[in-house]
Amino acid sequence: MAETEIKSIQWFPGHMAKTRRSIKENLSLVDAVVEIIDARIPLSSQNPEMGRMTAGKPRLLVLNKRDMADNNITDRWISYFRKKGIAAVSMDCKSGKGLKAFTSALENQVLKDLIETRKAKGMVGAPLRVMVVGIPNVGKSSFINRMSGSKKAKVEDRPGVTRTKQWVKLGDRIEMLDMPGVLWPKFDDQLVARKLAFTGAIRDDILDIETLAMLLLEYLAENYPACLKERYKMDSEGLDGKELLELLGRKRGMLISGGEVNTERAAIMLLDEFRAGKTGCISLEKPEE
Ligand code: G4P
């Protein structure tokens, strides 16, 4: 299919500047930065400035929504990041799988040196303070809720810490700085924008829904034909995006007068089902790309 344009999307420089400032101002208060990303798009859901913004602080990547991604590929991503010297774990905040691995990675890898230094100074049991960041929709709130349990215990005010800053307990030893501000992904890159739109991380109304659905169908036909077969009883071989969307609409009986397919309805249905994880466990990025 010809590269149909995903309308030019803005980078929200104002929001980003505010968040950048907030991260910079608060970095000295934390021991580590936890970045939540989407396991289906580990690169596209990372903020490209994160490494630079948090330079000098130990960092832990959490590949969330593991249940929606292709397991083998998620494991390859974890190895990929670890080979680059970046600690990474995967998680499913819906069920809570991976929470223990997170705590263990934070204590035994990312903050191991700090914990040992504190131990040597007799400061056993001091809280580990983290900043949790992530672009919208990666599951940051779900992660915080999971980690903090039903009661989101706030930590009492501390000297030197202004009242606008809130510390939330995540488990017994970890305290999280609840920071205002939204971290935007870098979606002025068409490919990145497309993947963020597939997962629902950016709004539909800035994109042409049928084009998006055709692109997703082409990707699925190439990489996950069995999922199309299983969910929609579709044989996708040899079909382009337009043909795939028409076939999908036909399979679902989405017809308009004259027997034509209502491709808009089919597109909305496909994206809704994909975002709800009904299409299968699908990764949209592989480490070698
Ligand atoms: P955010 O703070 O980063 O913006 O994300 P939030 O926690 O609000 O999560 C965004 C959506 O992703 C929510 O779905 C949430 O339930 C879902 N989600 C978060 N973590 C996981 C996960 O590990 N696996 C799966 N499958 N889904 C996850 P929603 O449809 O917006 O709301 P609802 O389904 O919770 O009602």
Identify residue 66 by its one-letter amino acid code: R
> What gap in Å lies between CA 90 and CA 38, rounded to an integer?
9
The two structure tokens encoding residue 57: 């602080």
pLDDT tens by residue, 78-97:
999 999 999 999 999 999 99
The two structure tokens encoding residue 273: 């089902």
CB atoms within 10 A of CB 130: 24
Q: 288 C-alpha vs ligand 1 centroid, how far in Å?
A: 27
Give domain 208-275's CATH architecture. Orthogonal Bundle (1.10)
Domain boundaries 14-178, corresponding CATH code: 3.40.50.300
User: Measuring from atom 15 of ligand 1, which residue has the nearest CA?
Assistant: 139
pTM above 0.85, yes or no: yes
Candidate of 93, 132, 282 to mutate for ligand 1, largest count of ligand atoms within 8 Å of Cβ: 93
Residue spans of the domains in the chain: they are: 14-178, 208-275
Averaged pLDDT score across all residues of the chain: 87
pLDDT of amino acid 38 = 97
CB atoms within 10 A of CB 24: 11
Q: 141 C-alpha vs ligand 1 centroid, how far in Å?
A: 8
Q: Is 188 exposed, middle or buried (0-12, 13-18, 19+ CB in 10 A)?
A: exposed
Ligand 1 touching residue 64 (CB < 6 A): yes
pLDDT tens by residue, 156-199:
555 554 445 678 888 888 999 877 667 777 666 788 889 999 99
pLDDT tens by residue, 14-73:
667 788 888 888 999 999 999 999 999 999 999 888 888 888 899 999 999 999 999 999
Q: 260 C-alpha vs ligand 1 centroid, how far in Å?
A: 36
Q: Is 267 helix (H, G, I), strand (E, B) or coil?
A: helix
Closest atom of ligand 1 to CA, residue 66: 23
Closest atom of ligand 1 to CA, residue 64: 23
**Identical topology for domains 14-178 and 208-275:** no
Question: Residue 174: how many CA atoms within 13 Å on its side-chain side?
Answer: 25
Cα angle 29, 139, 280 (rounded to 5 degrees) comes to 150
CB 194 within 8 A of CB 144: no
Q: Is 37 helix (H, G, I), strand (E, B) or coil?
A: strand
